[in-house]
Structure 1
Amino acid sequence: MVRHRALRITLAAVMCAAAVQPAVAAEVRDRATEVLAQRLFPMLDAMGRSPETITRLRADRSLATTLATRAKRTAACAEAAPCVAEAALWDEQELAALAHAVERNAAPLLRDRRLVPDDGLASGLAREIRGLNAIVRVYALGMPARYPSIDGPSAAFGSTEAQTRLAAAVRLRNTPRAGSLQTLDPSMELGLALLDVNDRTDASGFEPIDGGDNAAAMARARGLDWSRYRYTAVVLTGIGPEVPDMPLSPGGKYHVRLAANRFADGDAPFIIVSGGRAHPHGTPHNEAAEMRRALIERYGVPAEAIVIEPYARHTTTNLRNATRRLMALGAPLDREALIVCNPDQSRMIESPAFGERNRRELGYEPGVIGRRLSPTELTFRPDPRSARIDPLDPLDP
């Protein structure tokens, strides 16, 4: 009797203990973060979505040593969020160890040529890791963004609001998410969370880019005879407003009419309108979307003839991203497009200084600037190197 009562007490204690034990958190999909990860870190994201690849990487002895060092560095921070952010940075030796391990263990995954850029696995992976470091430095550690007037967090570094956002990002980095790299290293999840909590997910706002407003143009391109046209597209560059709540700048209205006139000549099948949500800082208006609206509503340009490129924040990336859209359309890259913009911007695009800026900021020129046809028109032959993803600009990689 006593033994049976003791057994009942023991079983009850076990059941009670089981009831208060926290359940293992399920890995849920976060669709918004998935899209942002694919835009910023396509190679790292693909590894996170491949359990077999993660298993092989975790078993790689050299990488395991590096990851253990990084984990120990983070553990020493306890709950200090700025310390955790600092510990998440990758140094060059750690980056090299990761690159070598990926080359040894991720070959089946990286046979997908859409993931590996034209300059190779090591270069692409280095850009993703250095971009990740840049996100942490700007959004967690208070370093200035490349263009601080339009980029970076809204909350002042060191403010209570900034500290609250950082603390949330640090907690998010270890909250399970299906398809993430958290079980290998949580630094990429920290970078994504920092952008999320700062409401700077600009890079994913129009995905899938070839659907939505671009769906009609993409469908038309599939059956297009490109040889019928002198130019593959009119590329309309952005010129953002500096006044809050202004949807389209005065210069933008001028650009739109220039493009409408040029399109009416019938020399190009599409107008590519390029411009993101950049000016002024925190504006709710997207320049490409506003230019598209004006072309349709004011000038009667058919929607199937307009391609939006809604991410570019600079003239350099106007041309890079327009090239990406031409590639998506299936346009022949050995044919010229036509850049249309105001005379001042057109002269700047033609200048040697602009070529140098492209080489400095992008690492290449997104195409060859050709003949000048008028004060507002330049020919442009796009370069496929523009397809390289570079999260050093996390709002437009």
Structure 2
Amino acid sequence: MMRSILHMAAPVVTMAMIATATVPAEAGAVRDQLAAQLSQRLFPLFDAVGEDARHMRTLRADPALSAALQARVARRAACADAPLCIAHAMLWTAEEAEALTRAAGTLGGMPAPDDGLAAQAGREVAGVNAIVRSYGLGDVPPYPDIDGAGAIDPREREARLRAAQWLAPLPRAGSVQAMDPSFDYALALLDGSDRTDAIGYEPRDGGANRAAMERARAIDWSRYRYSAMIVTGIGPEIEGMALSPVGKYHLRLAADRFARGEAPFIILTGGRAHPRATPFAEAAEMRQALIDRYGIPAEAIVIEPYARHTTTNLRNAARLLMMLRAPMNKDALIVCNPSQSASIESGDFVRRNTRELGYQPGTIGARLSPTELLFRPLPQSNRVDPRDPLDP
């Protein structure tokens, strides 16, 4: 019976409809809270375009982009109702991406990252492609042990592709669908794979961080030697384990150092990484341990529960320092085990940041001990990059 229902339902939303329809942004479109939050987190530029009809009109009036969008419509329509073909058709070619990023760079009145709107548009289009390839087409992601959809049955993959195909054109308030459905298609693939990790702890200045953020508004930073201690994550590899033995060592280091009164905050950084799809966010578990075991007050702790790599440990800690409004010319103190600390200081780590992030999240300063390094955040860290859709 279920098979016949699906068979009957399939023609209701066809690729021809996706190819030709203009999705209304006005009254009547549903506001999907999960999709809206995920869109804002992953695609802040094109999410803002979807919320403002003026920006949408500006983009669609661009001749080169208009031609590229028409080519994309034709490519999707040629797929008829074949899910795998549609997934390939949702990918942006280099020429199409260039037309979109160039047009987006001309938008006025939009908040821009330090490297401009065109660069941000390029990252977001590349993010769509990365999501479609990994969560739709089954390509191996950069870190296959913790990223991507994992090994799934071919029938389940087809079901996820079909669901994304049907969801992408359904009217959604605030969506950029009227320009191109690929962004909502990517969101649907993540939702269908239950990998909405990127919005698991939003807003970052609320929840467990609210007390610290409120305290930071009135802090006298000059009273402290360091703006914060940054405690990096080192997740367990055993299913069901919340904190690794080395992670517990990091907490003892942090508690001992905090007792000296030289930093007003401890930034704990570590997300849901090891093992794959663990329910434990390392930063949240470290926070509870600091409160329960060492009596550290909650208003002195800031969690960063997304990072899954040492590179993003520091990038995301830099973002939180900026959210705290800490002085950018004041040192923070990285506290971690000697091996990880040496790695952070190495040339290999500089090259890894350049390769994976495209910049350095901060300046590594003097070494104070085998477990302590100075660090100053850089504004590049605020660039949103959905090529890593679990931690953009």
Please report the TM-score for the alignment, with normalisation by the length of structure 2.
Answer: 0.91
Match of 1:135, SS state, is helix
Q: How far has the Cα of 1:99 moved from its partner?
A: 2.2
Match of 2:160, SS state, is helix
Q: How far has the Cα of 1:57 moved from its partner?
A: 2.4
Instruction: Work out whether residues 155 and 162 of structure 1, in 8 Å CA contact, stay in contact via their aligned partners in 2.
Output: no
Separation in structure 1 between the aligned mates of residue 386 and residue 285 of structure 2, nearest angstrom: 25
Matched, 1:61 2:56: no
Separation in structure 2 between the aligned mates of residue 383 and residue 288 of structure 1, nearest angstrom: 22
Separation in structure 1 between the aligned mates of residue 314 and residue 298 of structure 2, nearest angstrom: 21
Q: Structure 2 matches for 1:224-239, cutoff 5 A?
A: 224-239=219-234
Separation in structure 2 between the aligned mates of residue 87 and residue 146 of structure 1, nearest angstrom: 22
Q: State the match for 1:122 in structure 2.
A: 118
Instruction: Work out whether residues 45 and 179 of structure 1, in 8 Å CA contact, stay in contact via their aligned partners in 2.
Output: yes
Separation in structure 2 between the aligned mates of residue 365 and residue 101 of structure 1, nearest angstrom: 28
Separation in structure 1 between the aligned mates of residue 151 and residue 145 of structure 2, nearest angstrom: 13
Q: Which of the numbers 86, 89, 106 marks the counterpart of 1:87?
A: 89
Deviations 1:46-81 (A, max 9, x none): 001112221232233332221111001001111111
Matched, 1:395 2:387: no
Instruction: Work out whether residues 288 and 308 of structure 1, in 8 Å CA contact, stay in contact via their aligned partners in 2.
Output: yes
Q: State the match for 1:14 in structure 2.
A: none
RMSD: 1.3
Matched, 1:169 2:164: yes
Instruction: Work out whether residues 101 and 119 of structure 2, in 8 Å CA contact, stay in contact via their aligned partners in 1.
Output: no
Deviations 1:138-192 (A, max 9, x none): 1111110110000000342x62112211211111111111100111100001111
Match of 1:273, SS state, is strand
Separation in structure 2 between the aligned mates of residue 278 and residue 329 of structure 1, nearest angstrom: 25
Which segment is superposed worse, 362-371 or 310-319?
A: 362-371
Q: State the match for 2:73 in structure 1.
A: 71
Q: How far has the Cα of 1:97 moved from its partner?
A: 1.3
Match of 1:219, SS state, is helix
Instruction: Work out whether residues 242 and 279 of structure 1, in 8 Å CA contact, stay in contact via their aligned partners in 2.
Output: yes
Separation in structure 1 between the aligned mates of residue 49 and residue 289 of structure 2, nearest angstrom: 42
Q: State the match for 2:108 in structure 1.
A: 107
Please report the TM-score for the alignment, with normalisation by the length of structure 1.
Answer: 0.90
Matched, 1:375 2:375: no
Matched, 1:360 2:355: yes
Count of matched residue positions in the alignment of Structure 1 and Structure 2:
367
Deviations 1:28-49 (A, max 9, x none): 1111111111111110110011
Q: Structure 2 matches for 1:125-144, cutoff 5 A?
A: 125-144=121-140
Q: Structure 2 matches for 1:275-286, cutoff 5 A?
A: 275-286=270-281
Q: State the match for 1:21 in structure 2.
A: none
Instruction: Work out whether residues 236 and 275 of structure 2, in 8 Å CA contact, stay in contact via their aligned partners in 1.
Output: yes
Instruction: Work out whether residues 154 and 198 of structure 1, in 8 Å CA contact, stay in contact via their aligned partners in 2.
Output: no
Q: Structure 2 matches for 1:303-382, cutoff 5 A?
A: 303-382=298-377
Instruction: Work out whether residues 105 and 116 of structure 2, in 8 Å CA contact, stay in contact via their aligned partners in 1.
Output: no
Match of 2:146, SS state, is coil
Larger Rg: 1
Q: State the match for 2:239 in structure 1.
A: 244
Match of 2:334, SS state, is strand
Deviations 1:218-271 (A, max 9, x none): 100000000000000000000001001111111111111111111111010000
Match of 1:285, SS state, is coil
Q: How far has the Cα of 1:91 moved from its partner?
A: 1.3
Q: State the match for 2:144 in structure 1.
A: 148
Separation in structure 2 between the aligned mates of residue 386 and residue 35 of structure 1, nearest angstrom: 21
Q: Report percent identity of matched pairs.
A: 60
Q: How far has the Cα of 1:371 moved from its partner?
A: 1.2
Q: State the match for 1:12 in structure 2.
A: none
Separation in structure 1 between the aligned mates of residue 306 and residue 204 of structure 2, nearest angstrom: 10
Separation in structure 2 between the aligned mates of residue 315 and residue 293 of structure 1, nearest angstrom: 21
Separation in structure 1 between the aligned mates of residue 350 and residue 192 of structure 2, nearest angstrom: 35
Separation in structure 2 between the aligned mates of residue 103 and residue 327 of structure 1, nearest angstrom: 25
Q: State the match for 1:19 in structure 2.
A: none
Instruction: Work out whether residues 132 and 186 of structure 2, in 8 Å CA contact, stay in contact via their aligned partners in 1.
Output: yes
Any stretches of 5+ residues in structure 1 without a counterpart?
1-23
Separation in structure 2 between the aligned mates of residue 277 and residue 82 of structure 1, nearest angstrom: 30
Separation in structure 1 between the aligned mates of residue 60 and residue 362 of structure 2, nearest angstrom: 41
Instruction: Work out whether residues 144 and 150 of structure 2, in 8 Å CA contact, stay in contact via their aligned partners in 1.
Output: no
